[in-house]
Amino acid sequence: MNKKRGFEIAKGFENAGINLPVRKTKYSAGYDVEAAEDTVIPAFKRGQKPTLVKTGLKAYMEDDEMLLLYNRSSNPGKKGLILANSVGVVDKDYYGNQDNDGHIMFAFYNIKDEDIEIKKGDAIGQAIFQKYFITDEDSAAGERMGGFGSTSK
């Protein structure tokens, strides 16, 4: 079978009981993603960094595709969770990188007054594969040399 796009278990999570993302309905755009482990997301304080919630997943895709990570629509209202980057972008060359094997994580802030605990297996977000286009003048030739947040390095 010629693999086009999909999810796999990231290194270090092979025996962690990770569920591959699924779409819940026939016309859902997003694949529901679960937390790989229990994580506490502290109540927001100025200057703090977002909490990275591990998924135990990596994604492979075609050359002209990306994976977009979106928050669950219920997270802000029910749990006070917002994505620090609004939408996460996972590039094709993030898959299998030398730093973290392409492990996908969601970066959350908690806007509630109390800490929020995410349990292993809780649905935390959605992942949507999407095509993208490049400009006529594009000449990108660089190669990814690391994992999370390494594109500009």
- Going from N- to C-terminal start, the domains of the chain cover 6-131
- Rounded to the nearest integer, the mean pLDDT of the chain is 93
Residue 153 pLDDT exceeds 60: no
Predicted pLDDT at 40 = 98
For residue 68, CA distances in Å to 12, 37, 73, 129 come to: 23, 21, 15, 6
Predicted pLDDT at 1 = 75
Under the banding of pLDDT at 50, 70 and 90, the label for residue 100 is very high
d(C-alpha 92, C-alpha 17), whole Å: 25
Predicted pLDDT at 35 = 98
Under the banding of pLDDT at 50, 70 and 90, the label for residue 147 is low
Predicted pLDDT at 139 = 83
Share of the chain above pLDDT 90, in %: 88
SS3 (DSSP) at 95? coil
**Reported CATH class of domain 6-131:** mainly beta
Which one is predicted more confidently, 2 or 43? 43
Integer-rounded Cα Rg, in Å, for the chain is 16
Q: If you count DSSP H runs as helices and E runs as strands, how many of each does the chain have, helices first? A: 0, 11
Work out the average pLDDT over 100-104: 96
Q: For 104-143, how does the pLDDT look when each residue is reduced to its tens digit (9 = 90+)? A: 999 999 999 999 999 999 999 999 999 999 999 988 776 6
